[in-house]
Amino acid sequence: MDETIEGLLAAIEQGIEKASTTAQLEEVRVAFIGRKGQLTRAMKDLSELSPEERPRQGKRLNQLRQVFDSLYEARHRRLAAEEEDAQLAEERLDMTLPGRSPLPARLHPVTRVTRMLEEVFLRMGFSLATGPEVETVWYNFEALNVAEDHPARAMQDSFFVDLPGYVMRTQTSPMQIRAMEEARGRVPLRIISTGRVYRRDEDATHIPMFTQLEALAIDRHLGLADLKGVLLTLAREIFGASTEIRLRPSYFPFTEPSLEVDISCVVCGGKGCRTCKDGWLEILGSGMVHPVVLRNGGYDPDQVNGFALGLGIERVVMLLYGFDDIRLLYQNDLGVLSGFGDPLAPMGSQGGPLL
C-alpha cells in the first residue's frame, strides 16, 4: 500500500503538471478522483486493510487528496486565466468606432428661458396667469390708456383680424386688466403672465410673433423704489450676481412714470464693447401703473399704487446664449435647436442681499 501511495503522488504531480488546458486538467481530475479514479479506488481499498493498518493508510490517503486538491486548484486557476486571456484577445474590438448616441431631446430654448423667468417671479410671490392671443381692442389698447388716435398705437404696429373689436395682442399687458378684474380690488396683487404677442415688424432683432413676460404688482404701500428692487433682483437672478441695472425715464401709455431698464453688458461686464456700445443693454420697459389703467381694472388710484414691467423673452435668450439674430430661434432647425445647452450665466443669485 505504501508503494501505491508513493506512486500515486508521483502520478498526480506529473498528470497535473502535464495538463495544458482546462479540458485536459478535467481528464486528470476524473482519472484520479472521479468515481473510478485511482485515488477513489485506493480509498475504497482501505476496507480490505487490517484494522491497525487502516487508520494510518487512511490518513495518508487523505493527505494525498489534499495535495491533489491544492495542485489542481492552482493549475486550474492558471490555465483558466490563460484561456480567458486567449479568448479576450480574440474578442478585441476597434474601440474608436462610433456607437449609437442616446437620443434625448429638449424643450425649445424660449420655453426653457420662459420657465426660468417665471421661476424667479414665483419665488418673489408672483402668480402666473395666462390669457388669449386674439384679444379685444379694449383689453389690448383702450383699457391700457391707448386711445384710438394715440400715437402709441403706431409705436406697435398691430395685426388686425376680421372680427370686429379684436386684434392680435401686441403685448402681454392686457393681462394686467384681466388680472385686476379677477382680483376685484384685492391687495396685494402680484401676477405675471407669459405668452406670444404679435407685431408687424421683421428684421434681425424683430419678428412678427414673439414672447413676452408681464409682471404687475398692486398694493397700498408700493412705490417706484419697490419696482427698482424687483428689477435688480430679476437682473441678478437671470444674469448673475454682479449684474447692475440702469433706469432711464421713458414713455409707455399705461405707466407713469415709465422707465426703460438696462443691464450692465453681459459680454463685457459694462466696459463697452460691440454688443453694447456704452456698457449697457436695453432689456425691458416698466413703470408705475397709470391711474387710468388702475381705474379701468377696478382699483382706486387714490388708495393703491402699482408697478408693471414687460420683458421680451427672446431678447433674454439671445443675451444668455450670445447670438444676435432672433430669427434663428424660429427656423426650428434641429441642428440649431440641439445646440442650445444650458444658459451661460448660472441661475440663482450668489451675491449678498440687495438691500
Partner 1 sequence: MKMSYRWLTRHLPQLPEPAQVAKAFVHLGIEVAAMDPWGLDYQPVQLARVVERRPHPEADHLHLVEIEVGADSRASVVTGAQSGAPGDFVWYGPPGTRLPDGRVLATAEFRGEASAGMLLSAEELGFSHPSDGLWVWAGSDPIGTSLLSVLGGADTVFDLELTPNLAAFDQSAIGLARDLAAYFRMPQPQLPKAFGFGQDALIGMVEGGAPLYSLIVLEVDNTGVSPLWLQTLLAAIGQRAISPLVDVTNFVLWDLGQPLHVFDYDKVSLPIRVRNAEAGEVLVTLDGVERRLSSDDLIIADADRALALAGVMGGQASAVEATTTRVILESAHFDANQIYRTLRRHRIESDAALHFGKGTDAALAFNAPTAVVEHLGSVARARASQRVGEVPSAHKIAWDGDRIRRLLGVPWEDQILLENLEALGFHREAHWILVPSYRPEVQALHDLAEEVLRVYGVDRVPLKMLSGMVFPGHRSLADEHWFRLKTAWAEAGYWEVITSAFSAASREAWLDPDEVEAIAIVNPLRPEEHQLRRGLLTGMLETVAANRSRSDRGLRLYQVAPIFFRQEDRPVEAQQLVVVQTLEEAEVRWPKEPAATIHDLKAALQWVLARVGLAEEFYLGPSPAWPGWAHPGRAIAIWDRQNRRRGIVAELKPSVARWFRSRRLGVVVLNLGDAQTWTFKTAAIQRPNRYPAAVRDLSLILPEPMAYGDLRPWIEEALRSVGANLSVDYWLADRYTTSAHEASITLRFVLQSSTSTLSDKDIVAVLASVVTHLRQKDVKMRQ
Interface with partner 1 by CB under 8 A: which range of 2-10, 25-33, 68-76, 219-227? 219-227
Residue 152 is a binding residue for partner 1 (CB under 8 A): yes
Which position among 23, 81, 161, 344 is part of the footprint of partner 1 (CB under 8 A)?
161
Nearer to partner 1 (CB atom), residue 57 or residue 211: 211
Output the smallest distance, CB 148 to partner 1, in A.
9
Which of 349, 334, 350 lies closest to 123, judged by CA? 349
Q: How far is the CB of 252 from partner 1 (least distance, A)?
A: 8
Q: Which of 28, 69, 39, 305 is nearest to 187 (CA)?
A: 305
C-alpha cell at 321: 446664449
Asked if residues 134 and 168 have their Cβ atoms less than 8 Å apart, the reply is yes
Site for partner 1 in 37-76 (CB under 8 A): none
Contact region for partner 1 (CB under 8 A) — 7-15, 150-158, 172-180, 263-271?
150-158
The residue type of 185 is G
Nearer to partner 1, 51 or 341 (CB): 341
Residue 354 is a binding residue for partner 1 (CB under 8 A): yes
| 209-219 and 189-198 beta bridge pairing | antiparallel
Among 39, 232, 311, 328, binds partner 1 (CB under 8 A): 232
* Size of the residue set binding partner 1 (CB under 8 A): 89
Residue appearing with cell numbers 492558471: 78
For 219-241, b/e burial (b = at least 16 CB within 10 A) is eeebeeeebbebbbbbbbbbbbe
Q: How far is the CB of 266 from partner 1 (least distance, A)?
A: 20
Q: How far apart are the first and last CA of the chain?
A: 101
- Judged by CB under 8 A, the chain residues 74 through 103 that form the site for partner 1 are 97-100, 103
Looking only at residues 318 through 337 of this chain, which bind partner 1 when binding is defined by CB under 8 A? 329-335, 337
Q: What's the rounded Cα separation, in Å, for the pair 61 and 55? A: 10
Site string (101-130) toward partner 1, x via CB under 8 A: --xxxxxx-xx---x--x--xxxxxxxxxx
- Cell triple for 306: 402699482
**How far apart, in whole angstroms, are the C-alpha atoms of residue 11 and residue 75?**
15
**C-alpha distances in Å from residue 311, one per residue of 194, 213, 323, 347:** 9, 5, 18, 18
Per-residue contact string for residues 276-305; x = within reach of partner 1 by CB under 8 A? ------------x-xx-------------x
Judged by CB under 8 A, the chain residues 179 through 208 that form the site for partner 1 are 188, 190, 192, 196, 198, 200, 202, 208
Q: Which residue in 185, 151, 165 sits closest to 253, CA to CA?
A: 151
- Is 315 near partner 1 (CB under 8 A)? no
3 or 162: CB nearest partner 1: 162
Q: Which amino acid is at 41?
A: R
Nearer to partner 1, 132 or 272 (CB): 132
Nearer to partner 1, 44 or 123 (CB): 123
* Smallest gap from residue 131 Cβ to partner 1 (A): 10
Q: Are 25 and 79 in contact (CB under 8 A)?
A: yes
Contact between 29 and partner 1 per CB under 8 A: no
Q: Which of 229, 272, 346, 351 binds partner 1 (CB under 8 A)?
A: 229
Check: CB of residue 277 under 8 Å from CB of residue 269: no
* Contact between residue 191 and residue 175 where contact means Cβ atoms under 8 Å apart: yes
Question: What's the grid cell of residue 191?
Answer: 401676477
Q: Which of 2, 92, 154, 350 binds partner 1 (CB under 8 A)?
A: 154
CA dist 286 and 249 (Å) reads 10
